[in-house]
Structure 1
Amino acid sequence: MKIGCIGPSDSVELIKEVVGRCCPEITLLTYVRERIADSWEVLEECQRETKGILFTGIGVQEAAKARGDVTRPYRHIPRGGYSLLRVLSEMLRRGIKSGKVSIDVVSDDILTEVVKEFGVEFENIHSMPFAIHHGEQDYLDRHIELYENGQTDAIVTGFGYIYKELKEKGLPVFRLYASTLQIRDSLEKLVDKINSRNLRSAGIAIQLVKLKSITRNSINQYDDMKNGGIFYLELLEYVRAIQGSLFNFGTEEYVIFSTRGIIESPLHRDHFRRLLAWGRDRNIIFSSGIGIGSTAFEAEKSARKALDNAIKLPKGGFYIVEGQHIRGPIGEQDELKYKTHIVDSKFLKMSSEIGISPSYLDKIKALMTKSHKDTFDSTDLAACLGIGERSARRVLKKFLDSGYAELNGTEVSAQVGRPKKMVRILI
């Protein structure tokens, strides 16, 4: 298994040695960047050549994620109590006993654990746990400031760049290296993550595509047949791109067999959205439902459920159903993820008292979470849920009548018409 390792040269060499000695089944490809801010530069190359990424530390990992898109399974190697104890032992050997120390990266929990469990005493300790909003230079400047002000006699760092800079300045700096145990543990967890994703990606995915309307202003049936043929050729290109198999039932419904890994990929979704846009430009409207399951029967059943939701969209679109969760319309502004099957007794009781289905209640809850709002008028709710305004008024009335909503004022429109009620949903 090929795994990439990103980080400064000293940590990378240590990990390389451990992997060569303890993990013969792993081929480690190394991508050295001395500064964590530069780790994103090798991210794309690493992901292209390996199955997963081992970051040498949390700083390298978070810097790569901040500027790049991490799509492969990944882990970072933490710095635990053993790493700190090893540094403290080295400090004693070099005669530094005052306990006036500045330490970065290590969490306060680890520091407390070392102090309590091993009886380590510090005269004055300046802890600087890793924080995403601080760069390497922030930690470097703080270490130097504390030392020059006489507040510390030693510096402990988990950053390769800071270690080299302070070493060149002749300051008493000690490097926090990962232990063999920590490296092996992180590697094992990463391999498990990779294997788990491989199994997950191998699941069955079935996509149903149903033509809703070929054209609105055809002169005769031959125009319809011509447009249907054009659509079929475009669909064939799409199926070839996702390495699927295509079967058609008449001229209006198609079944595509593929794998979960391909169906769930951003490339697939972008391709299908382009196909939808192509159809809309030509008044060829179609809907699609994707079902994911461990068996073909389970996947097809889920695909039907997804298609049932997609065909309600006036301009077409697609949904994905996996197990008890439904997501869609995929790629649209009103995309939501909610449950199709509810077992929570409190939630079931609430939906019964309101008078709407548990799944629909969960959809509204998902909308509130996504939009960060709990107050709607009928127009707003209709647009968000993709329903008519009359239906939205009925839904809001059910919430009000059951006591799960309250009036939160009215909105007076500049246009002619009655003021809209602003309803705050209380779930």
Structure 2
Amino acid sequence: MNIGCIGPSDSIAIVKDVIDRCCPEITLNTYIRERADDSWEVLDECQRENQGILFSGIAVQEAAKARGTVTLPYEHIPRGAYSLLRVLSDIQRSGLKPSKVSIDVVNDDILVEVVKEFGVEFENIHSMPFALHHCEEDYQQRHEDLYETGQTDAIATGFGYIYKNLKQKGLPVFRLYASTLQIRDAVSLLVDKIHTKSLRSAGIAIQLIKLKSITRSSINQYDDMKNGGIFYLELLEYVRTIQGSLFNFGTEEYVIFATRGIIEGQPHQEHFKRLLAWGRKRNIIFASGIGIGATAFEAEKSARKALDNAMQLPEGGFYIVTGKQLRGPIGETDELEYKTHVVDARLLEMAKETGISPSYLDKIKALMNKTQKDTFDASDLAACLGIGQRSARRVLKKLLDSGHAELNGVETARHVGRPKRVVRILI
């Protein structure tokens, strides 16, 4: 297994030593960047050559994610209680008292744990946990200011870049290194993620795409053919990027065969959202359903179910069905995940009493969990579920009539119009 490690040279040397001794089945490829903020520069190269990424610390990881796209499984090596205890011991061995210290990267809960569990007493400690909006220069300046004003006697840093700079200036700086146990734990987590992705990628994915804006009017026939041709060229580029196979049935429906690992990835979903936006600008509206399964038959059956839901979207969009889980509209504000086949006894009983399908009740339940609210009027529920107000009123009425909802009040509009009933759903 090839794993890439990104970080400063001193941290990478320790990681390499641990993996060479403890993990002979792993080939570690190293990508050195002394500054955490520069880690993104080697991200693409690392992802081309490896199956997973091990970041030497949280700062390196977050800096890479801030300016690049991480598509492989990844893990970072944390700095825990053992790292802190070791650096405090280093400070004491140097002849300094580890009671007035400035420390970065380590979380405050780790400090509290060390104080409670090991009885370490600090006279004056300045904690600077990692925060993405602070660059390395911010942490370095803070360390220097505290030392120069006499508030600290020693500096503990998890940044290799800061350690080298302060060492050159002659300041009493000490390096927070990861322990062997922390490195092995991080590697173990990463290997599990790589194996999980490999298993997930083995499934079959089928994507159905259906054009909605094609008409059969003889007046618009030429424009329809032209739009269909333009769309086909754009679709070919999309299929190429996901390494799929494209088949078309007439001028309105297309089938794409791909692997689960690629089609479920965030880059694929972002690409398809851009394709949807491209079509909407040109009034080429289409819907798509993605089905994932162990066999082609299972994947196509799921894709049809997903497409049926997508076809109800006026502006197009796409859904994904995996097993019994339906998710969508993907990337939209009203995206939800709920079951297509419900086995929950309570929801099944509720479906009998209300006349609403179990899967639709599960969809409402997912909406309530997502919005953290249980009270709706018809217009609010319609907007959240992507249905018409008349349909939303029917749903609320069925819930009220069956005792699975209660009326919380009536809002009377200032202008002419139907009063709004505010209903609390009891799921």
Query: What is the TM-score when the length of structure 2 is the normalising length?
Result: 0.81
In structure 2, the CA distance between the partners of 1:353 and 1:138, relative to structure 1 (3 Å rule), is: farther
In structure 2, the CA distance between the partners of 1:177 and 1:251, relative to structure 1 (3 Å rule), is: closer
The aligned counterpart of 1:160 is: 160
- SS of corresponding position for 1:208: strand
- SS of corresponding position for 1:184: helix
The aligned counterpart of 1:60 is: 60
The aligned counterpart of 2:104 is: 104
- SS of corresponding position for 1:95: coil
The aligned counterpart of 1:122 is: 121
In structure 2, the CA distance between the partners of 1:199 and 1:218, relative to structure 1 (3 Å rule), is: same
State how far apart, in whole Å, the 2-side matches of 1:348 and 1:391 are: 21
Equivalent AA in structure 2 for residue 378 of structure 1: A
Aligned 8 A contact 2:375 2:423 in 1? yes
Q: CA deviation at 1:55?
A: 1.5
State how far apart, in whole Å, the 2-side matches of 1:73 and 1:313 are: 33
State how far apart, in whole Å, the 2-side matches of 1:101 and 1:241 are: 52
Task: Give the 5 Å matches for 1:11-50.
Answer: 11-20=11-20, 22-23=22-23, 25-34=26-35, 36-50=36-50
Aligned 8 A contact 1:52 1:74 in 2? yes
Aligned 8 A contact 1:59 1:130 in 2? no
State how far apart, in whole Å, the 2-side matches of 1:125 and 1:374 are: 49
Equivalent AA in structure 2 for residue 104 of structure 1: D
**Quick check: 224-233 or 189-198, which moved more?**
224-233
1:3-52 CA distance string (max 9 Å, x none): 33333332233334444555453131313042x34434444444344432
The aligned counterpart of 1:410 is: 411
Equivalent AA in structure 1 for residue 191 of structure 2: V
The aligned counterpart of 2:378 is: 378
- SS of corresponding position for 1:122: coil
Root-mean-square deviation (Å): 3.8
Aligned 8 A contact 2:91 2:98 in 1? no
Equivalent AA in structure 2 for residue 406 of structure 1: L
Q: CA deviation at 1:87?
A: 2.4
The aligned counterpart of 2:365 is: 365
Task: Give the 5 Å matches for 1:278-357.
Answer: 286-348=286-348, 354-357=354-357
- SS of corresponding position for 1:304: helix
State how far apart, in whole Å, the 2-side matches of 1:386 and 1:185 are: 45
In structure 2, the CA distance between the partners of 1:84 and 1:236, relative to structure 1 (3 Å rule), is: closer
**Quick check: 56-65 or 401-410, which moved more?**
401-410
Equivalent AA in structure 1 for residue 184 of structure 2: R
State how far apart, in whole Å, the 1-side matches of 2:228 and 2:65 are: 44
Query: Which runs of 5 or more residues in structure 1 are unaligned?
Result: none
In structure 2, the CA distance between the partners of 1:273 and 1:11, relative to structure 1 (3 Å rule), is: closer
**Quick check: 318-327 or 223-232, which moved more?**
223-232
Equivalent AA in structure 2 for residue 404 of structure 1: A
- SS of corresponding position for 2:217: coil
Q: CA deviation at 1:260?
A: 0.9
**Quick check: 417-426 or 259-268, which moved more?**
417-426
- SS of corresponding position for 2:243: coil
1:171-203 CA distance string (max 9 Å, x none): 322111112332233223223312321221221
In structure 2, the CA distance between the partners of 1:294 and 1:124, relative to structure 1 (3 Å rule), is: farther
In structure 2, the CA distance between the partners of 1:106 and 1:321, relative to structure 1 (3 Å rule), is: same
The answer to whether structure 1 residue 75 and structure 2 residue 75 are counterparts is yes
State how far apart, in whole Å, the 2-side matches of 1:31 and 1:406 are: 63
- SS of corresponding position for 2:29: strand
**Quick check: 335-344 or 197-206, which moved more?**
335-344
State how far apart, in whole Å, the 2-side matches of 1:326 and 1:20 are: 44
Aligned 8 A contact 1:215 1:282 in 2? no
- SS of corresponding position for 2:131: coil
Query: What is the TM-score when the length of structure 1 is the normalising length?
Result: 0.81
Aligned 8 A contact 2:4 2:52 in 1? yes
Q: CA deviation at 1:322?
A: 0.5
Equivalent AA in structure 2 for residue 13 of structure 1: A
